Amino acid sequence: MSMRGGSAISLPGDDLDSMETGTVLRAGVRVMARGSLGYRIATPLSIIAGLINGSTMVFSAVAIGWATDHLIIPAFTDAEVPARSWWIALGAIAGVSLLRVITIVTRAVAAAYVQYGNQASTRRALIRQYAKLGVPWHRRHSTGQLLSNVVSDVEVQWAPMQFFAFAMGSVFMLLVALANIARSDWYLAVVALMLVFVVLLANFVYQRVMSPRARDAQRARAAVSSVAHEAIEGEQVIRTLGIVDSESARFVRAAENTRVANTRMSFVSAAFDPFVELAPTATVLVVLLIGSGRVSAGELTVGTLVETIYLFLTMALPLGMIGRFLSILPLAVVGNKRTASVLDSVDYTQFGTETLAGEKALGVHVEAVRFTYDGALGEAIGPVELRFDAGDVVAVVGATGSGKTTLVRILARLADPDTGIVRYDGIDVRSLADGEIETRVAVVSQTSFLFDDTIRGNVTLGRDIDDLQVWRALDVAEAAEFVRGIPGGLDAAVGKRGASLSGGQRQRIALARGLAGSPSLLILDDATSALDPTVECDVLDNIRREFVSERGGDRRCTVVMTAARKSTVTLADRVLWMNGGVIAASGTHTELLAHYDGYRQIVDAYADGMDIDELDAAGGRS
Ligand SMILES: Nc1ncnc2c1ncn2[C@@H]1O[C@H](COP(=O)(O)OP(=O)(O)OP(=O)(O)O)[C@@H](O)[C@H]1O
């Protein structure tokens, strides 16, 4: 069996290749600065702690230099060391150490607060945005991409924040250290400047070498999750088609690519880290060489030389830290671009302010509607002109691909037509207020998604629906009997995606969910396809009796169902025959059967073996 395509995953918004290193740096620092602004206490706290911590490294060097001149040298020359000097040295070293501990803890806690706070708020913003963005936007973006936006993109976007205050403190420490060395000796200051220059240059090279590798690793990780996500989603297909081995091989390839990409990254840091660690230590030899000559010439004290050497040795830490910060900045820029591409999207569903009066069935009017899917060559439907009176029970019949699902999606405003208008009770659906359609229209589709919750939870979905209404909806959906038979009844957990139920049972729970909100327009898109014809007839009759029939003169619900089985279409007041995206004919089942060969062929092709008379006897109408 041939293997399916490779696992190369593209990262939209990942145009890092075209960006200069300087531009990436500026963009990255801007992201960090913007993220810091929202934290009025934690940000200044982490920066101040970072700056103080940077200074403490210089203080330590000064204290050690002072102790060398005032304690160690006099000890060698048998000179008297006043007790005060010992106390000063002890106090300075202990004080600086304590300050370092406090600032390290403060900096780490405050930086974590800012980093994880930003992660959480970006994730919240993304989730809010996903909810706001319209169905067309969601159709253009895969589940894997949405997941990777909200998980790994957010993570890499804010990862450098943990080093931001540290890196700022490190730059400050380097400046103070350079000033301190320059104050003592210009020759040594030049050596220090050269060291900083060489290490920063090495960092620059490191960034250039590391960036593409880091990006490859990020792509490889995304590929692993995408393959895993697809395999979990398609588990049943994979098992039934016997392609477990090829799917496993695909996963192993993706995992292997990740291993290789990560290892290539490790090679670069393995070569770079010792350099950054050892460069200051190696420079100490130069400092010793120059410094000892300056001490002999009486232009430098031993204490100052020791202080300078100590400074060089401690410089390894801030230089390494700046390097680490810079090395993950490019990925933060990529992460930010990817999350921003979602957050800046304005592909929202537009709402108006109109509301629908009363609770009765909705009349639906479709005027000159046309619709083409993004990237499709031709129109999916159009022009479509329709009128359903309140309380009509309508079946939409047509060959596969004739546009039934597209039509009912437009009726429920899951998509807006390119041209034309859909009206409920005369009101353009686009001028209805947000939430108005959801409370009055229920859509039940063929793929009945159930949450990993109880039966009650799946029917109510957190809406204000009591058990009486739940049982009524289950009764109408012919689900009450089997729910009563399940241990736990309404409280029984259905498992992941309703795994503990059969396909037909799942469909009936999904149907009950649609009915429980007492909709004024019920749209069933092949929603009874998993039921046997007898049960399907019972369900549709129940719906007609309980949800459509007149109450004080008003019908309560208009029903539109896509179907092909005779058992469904014969129960409708009216049948629409769709062909090639247009309504080819409209009338009762008997009329269409009598006058349209194409219609008869479709219905016969889907014939379920149940005789038409049998259906009539079961309560159907034609
Ligand atoms: N997301 C999409 N992108 C592009 N074209 C699409 C998309 N969904 C459907 N189409 C096309 O639009 C046309 C109508 O599809 P639709 O799903 O409405 O048909 P249908 O009658 O419901 O089919 P079926 O009975 O097989 O569900 C078809 O030609 C189909 O290929």
The pLDDT of residue 551 is 57
Q: Whose CA is nearest to atom 11 of ligand 1?
A: 380
CA of 607 to the centre of ligand 1 (A): 22
> In this structure, are 37 and 180 located in the same domain?
yes
Q: Whose CA is nearest to atom 13 of ligand 1?
A: 380
d(CA 141, CA 124): 19
- Does residue 318 lie in a domain region? yes
CB 323 within 8 A of CB 171: no
Q: Which amino acid is at 76?
A: F
CA of 48 to the centre of ligand 1 (A): 60
Q: Which amino acid is at 54?
A: G
Q: Whose CA is nearest to atom 14 of ligand 1?
A: 403
Secondary structure (3-state) at 60: helix
Which alpha helices (H) appear in 344-466, and where do they start and end? Answer: 404-411, 436-440, 455-460
CA of 486 to the centre of ligand 1 (A): 37
| Count of structural domains, the chain | 2
Domain-ending residue, one of 283, 313, 343: 343
d(CA 173, CA 179): 10
Secondary structure (3-state) at 128: helix
- Does residue 336 lie in a domain region? yes
Query: What is the rounded radius of gyration, in angstroms, for the C-alpha atoms of the chain?
Result: 36
Confidence of residue 1 (pLDDT cuts 50, 70, 90): very low
Mutate to test the pocket of ligand 1, among 404, 407, 603 (most ligand atoms within 8 A of CB): 404
Write out pLDDT tens, residues 5-42: 433 334 444 555 556 666 778 888 999 999 999 899 99
List residues near ligand 1 (CB under 6 A): 139, 373, 376, 380, 398, 400-406
d(CA 26, CA 19): 11
Confidence of residue 596 (pLDDT cuts 50, 70, 90): very high
Domain-ending residue, one of 343, 377, 398: 343
CA of 380 to the centre of ligand 1 (A): 7
Q: Whose CA is nearest to atom 1 of ligand 1?
A: 373
> In this structure, are 429 and 577 located in the same domain?
yes
Ligand 1 atom closest to the Cα of residue 405 is 22
Ligand 1 atom closest to the Cα of residue 562 is 22
CA of 399 to the centre of ligand 1 (A): 11
> In this structure, are 569 and 539 located in the same domain?
yes
Q: Whose CA is nearest to atom 23 of ligand 1?
A: 401
CB 114 within 8 A of CB 37: no
Mutate to test the pocket of ligand 1, among 137, 369, 402 (most ligand atoms within 8 A of CB): 402
CA of 501 to the centre of ligand 1 (A): 29
- Does residue 254 lie in a domain region? yes
- Does residue 11 lie in a domain region? no
Write out pLDDT tens, residues 495-533: 887 888 888 899 999 999 999 999 999 999 988 888 888
> In this structure, are 474 and 608 located in the same domain?
yes
CB 430 within 8 A of CB 369: no
> In this structure, are 157 and 124 located in the same domain?
yes
> In this structure, are 177 and 220 located in the same domain?
yes
Secondary structure (3-state) at 131: helix
- Does residue 132 lie in a domain region? yes
CA of 527 to the centre of ligand 1 (A): 17
CB 459 within 8 A of CB 465: yes
Q: What CATH number is associated with residue 436?
A: 3.40.50.300
CB atoms within 10 A of CB 452: 13
Ligand 1 atom closest to the Cα of residue 564 is 25
The pLDDT of residue 12 is 46
Domain-ending residue, one of 309, 343, 377: 343
Ligand 1 atom closest to the Cα of residue 581 is 14
Q: Whose CA is nearest to atom 29 of ligand 1?
A: 401
CB 445 within 8 A of CB 527: yes
CA of 242 to the centre of ligand 1 (A): 29
> In this structure, are 407 and 538 located in the same domain?
yes
Q: Whose CA is nearest to atom 3 of ligand 1?
A: 373
> In this structure, are 87 and 210 located in the same domain?
yes
- Does residue 354 lie in a domain region? no
CB atoms within 10 A of CB 6: 11
Confidence of residue 229 (pLDDT cuts 50, 70, 90): confident
Write out pLDDT tens, residues 168-227: 888 888 888 888 888 888 888 888 888 888 887 887 787 778 778 877 887 787 788 778
> In this structure, are 338 and 391 located in the same domain?
no
- Does residue 14 lie in a domain region? no
> Which token pair is 196?
């900083």
d(CA 600, CA 263): 64
Q: Whose CA is nearest to atom 28 of ligand 1?
A: 401
Write out pLDDT tens, residues 125-177: 999 999 889 888 888 887 777 888 898 889 989 999 988 888 888 888 888 88
ipTM above 0.90, yes or no: yes
- Spell out the residues 6+ positions from residue 7 whose beta carbon is closer than 8 angstroms to its own: 223, 224, 226, 227, 250, 253, 254, 257
- The b/e string for 240-279 (b: 16+ C-beta within 10 A; e otherwise) is eeebeeebeebbebbbebbeebbebbeebbeebeeebeeb
- Spell out the residues 6+ positions from residue 425 whose beta carbon is closer than 8 angstroms to its own: 356, 357, 362, 363, 390
Mutate to test the pocket of ligand 1, among 140, 400, 406, 561 (most ligand atoms within 8 A of CB): 406
Q: Whose CA is nearest to atom 18 of ligand 1?
A: 403
Ligand 1 atom closest to the Cα of residue 578 is 21
Q: Give me the helix-helix angle, 21-37 and 186-233, nearest 10°.
A: 80
CA of 372 to the centre of ligand 1 (A): 10
Q: Whose CA is nearest to atom 24 of ligand 1?
A: 400
The pLDDT of residue 610 is 45
Ligand 1 atom closest to the Cα of residue 403 is 18
Mutate to test the pocket of ligand 1, among 377, 405, 443 (most ligand atoms within 8 A of CB): 405
CA of 580 to the centre of ligand 1 (A): 10
Confidence check: pLDDT of 109 > 80 = yes
Q: What is the distance of C-alpha 399 from the center of its chain? A: 37
> In this structure, are 561 and 598 located in the same domain?
yes
Work out the mean pLDDT of the chain and round it to a whole number: 85
CB 399 within 8 A of CB 606: no
Share of the chain above pLDDT 70, in %: 93
Q: What CATH number is associated with residue 251?
A: 1.20.1560.10
Q: Whose CA is nearest to atom 17 of ligand 1?
A: 405
CA of 316 to the centre of ligand 1 (A): 63
Mutate to test the pocket of ligand 1, among 373, 560, 568, 569 (most ligand atoms within 8 A of CB): 373
> In this structure, are 327 and 376 located in the same domain?
no
Where in 303-458 does DSSP place strands (E)?
364-371, 381-388, 393-398, 419-424, 427-428, 441-445
Burial of 531 (0-12, 13-18, 19+ CB in 10 A): buried
d(CA 293, CA 296): 5
- Are β-strands 364-371 and 381-388 bridged in parallel, bridged antiparallel, or unpaired? antiparallel
Phi–psi pair at 92, nearest 5 degrees: -65, -45
CA of 608 to the centre of ligand 1 (A): 23
Q: Whose CA is nearest to atom 2 of ligand 1?
A: 373
DSSP 579-597: ETTEEEEEE-HHHHHHH-H
> In this structure, are 221 and 305 located in the same domain?
yes
CA of 404 to the centre of ligand 1 (A): 8
Confidence of residue 4 (pLDDT cuts 50, 70, 90): very low
Confidence of residue 550 (pLDDT cuts 50, 70, 90): low
- Does residue 355 lie in a domain region? no
Confidence check: pLDDT of 612 > 50 = no
Sole residue written with tokens 């998509």? 415
Write out pLDDT tens, residues 282-328: 888 888 888 888 888 888 888 888 888 888 888 777 877 887 788 78
Q: Which domain holds residue 403?
A: 364-617
